[in-house]
Structure 1
């Protein structure tokens, strides 16, 4: 199944498994696709890539092996910074939808309160409901820090709360949000959903934070909200989003404006891409796809090579924060 299916609300009991089989075709091997996050994971550690995209496949099914189930559970772990980013993105999405419907702009304190409740819920489930999570990892949350260390570091909690306050204030004052609420001729497109296109015969997935059409200025604006520091990956992701607009909606590159809104610092960076930059994005994607195919035993079915052939990273620091380090440690003994 595709990454989209893997995010759905499957359970491990036999009755629901039968229902799932009626709704979705259960395949022995996952579908092959490409995404920026998939590419990034492979570049960081092929072993992690193998756990995430192959070994965990079908791990929600009752009949799956214990190893597949364990890999699937570990896939569902989320660390505190990642959860923080997810919750801020979800809240931003809700705020923009509500503003378009009601015209009411909320206070930062209200948004902060809602996110704090979600963070507290994740902590409580991680602390009190580990057994339930082990059985149904899609129904409960488990923080990486709680699973591996049994506690959260006080300094990390303080940092998250400080970032939360800053990010939400910067969002409400951001160029993109202010532009959206002040302009009348704006067509808002559904955000945070899976979109896909086919490049050289391969399904490519993208998830945009926000996209809208400015009818007055005849521009398509793509926005990526960033809750962390600036990264060299930022422009690459935006280039991929622009490629989607060009391929799927036949938008001219001159009519596409892409932005990174850095909520931690309050800065906004706007880019006007060139055709050469888009061509480079396609070339890098094709190179990445070719590399991924080295780990296929059968290209038609996407059957992987033997798991021993997925090489572990030589950068030991990556192992510290990897969801699957438990499996690597077991394999080493």
Structure 2
């Protein structure tokens, strides 16, 4: 239990900082120790809000969980479930989250890591019909595309595929900074002598997709001594059924390292003490000027209550 959190870098941390510096402060500093009984009201409040999840994110998490368990079960048994079975399991997960949000708010307030609170219900009181319909429409499509995806077909194609890991937290140190990595799926194609990194996407294509995979490739190069030319990175877009495979160049890796270095320097502006990772006061974490982002931000409640303090 440290007074300040350990500093680390990840692509999601970088994205949070570029979206809104105030949100970055809440997410990585002022929610720290918020799970402890004797924490400050601000830390407890920020920690609870950090645990809120919106419908698209919840849907993505539920699909990822089902994919992970399906792959591991297939490795053990060779069985491939039906779309209906996968759909049933995802719906059960979504239903549990809905019931937590509707009926167990008091429990969530005291133990936000044990229960789920949906953003739409916390701030709006109910799930929007359009949002529920969108999830319903995506569910069958994404699961069918997963079962027919290039990566899953390769995983089930024979003995030349060697499964390595999925959804495991890994770290690698780059220039003295700990970098966090969580790969959706990693396996070796022994026939082609390739290490394949797969990222399952349940939403639309983003310009950041390749950058995230470049971080994964760097991890393999540093920790597993895999040559870059043997690394294949792949985005599986489950909503459309598209599959995009990339072979990175040394220039791509260098660009990612330079982006990371610039990002770390920017993050250091918000530290009073770099060694301790002690943050500057909250009011020095500026709010975004893009107000539209505030409407879907977990921390908008805290920003509203701190208006007179800025």
TM-score (norm 1): 0.92
The residue that corresponds to 2:227 in the other structure is: 252
**Counterpart of 1:259 in 2: which secondary structure?**
strand
Q: For residues 109-156 of structure 1, give each alpha carbon's deviation from its aligned partner in whole angstroms, at most 9, with x where no partner exists.
A: 100011101111111110111111111111111000000000001111
Once the two structures are TM-superposed, the CA of residue 93 in structure 1 deviates from its matched residue by: 0.3
The count of residues paired between Structure 1 and Structure 2 equals 308
Distance in 2 (alpha carbons) for counterparts of 1:277 and 1:190: 24
Once the two structures are TM-superposed, the CA of residue 217 in structure 1 deviates from its matched residue by: 1.2
The residue that corresponds to 1:320 in the other structure is: 295
Summarize the alignment of residues 5-84 of structure 1 with structure 2, pairs less than 5 Å apart. Answer: 26-84=1-59
Which of the numbers 89, 94, 97 marks the counterpart of 2:72? 97
Distance in 2 (alpha carbons) for counterparts of 1:193 and 1:272: 23
Summarize the alignment of residues 1-333 of structure 1 with structure 2, pairs less than 5 Å apart. Answer: 26-333=1-308
Distance in 1 (alpha carbons) for counterparts of 2:113 and 2:251: 42
Structure 1 unmatched runs, 5+: 1-25
**Counterpart of 2:251 in 1: which secondary structure?**
helix
Contact 2:147 2:153 in 1 (8 A): yes
Once the two structures are TM-superposed, the CA of residue 281 in structure 1 deviates from its matched residue by: 0.6
Distance in 1 (alpha carbons) for counterparts of 2:206 and 2:158: 30
Once the two structures are TM-superposed, the CA of residue 185 in structure 1 deviates from its matched residue by: 1.9
**Counterpart of 1:198 in 2: which secondary structure?**
strand
Contact 2:202 2:239 in 1 (8 A): yes
Runs of 4+ in 1 over 4 A off after TM superposition: none
TM-score (norm 2): 0.98
Q: For residues 278-321 of structure 1, give each alpha carbon's deviation from its aligned partner in whole angstroms, at most 9, with x where no partner exists.
A: 11011100000110011110010000011111010000011000
Contact 2:154 2:161 in 1 (8 A): no
The residue that corresponds to 1:14 in the other structure is: none
Q: Which moved more, 1:83-92 or 1:188-197?
A: 188-197
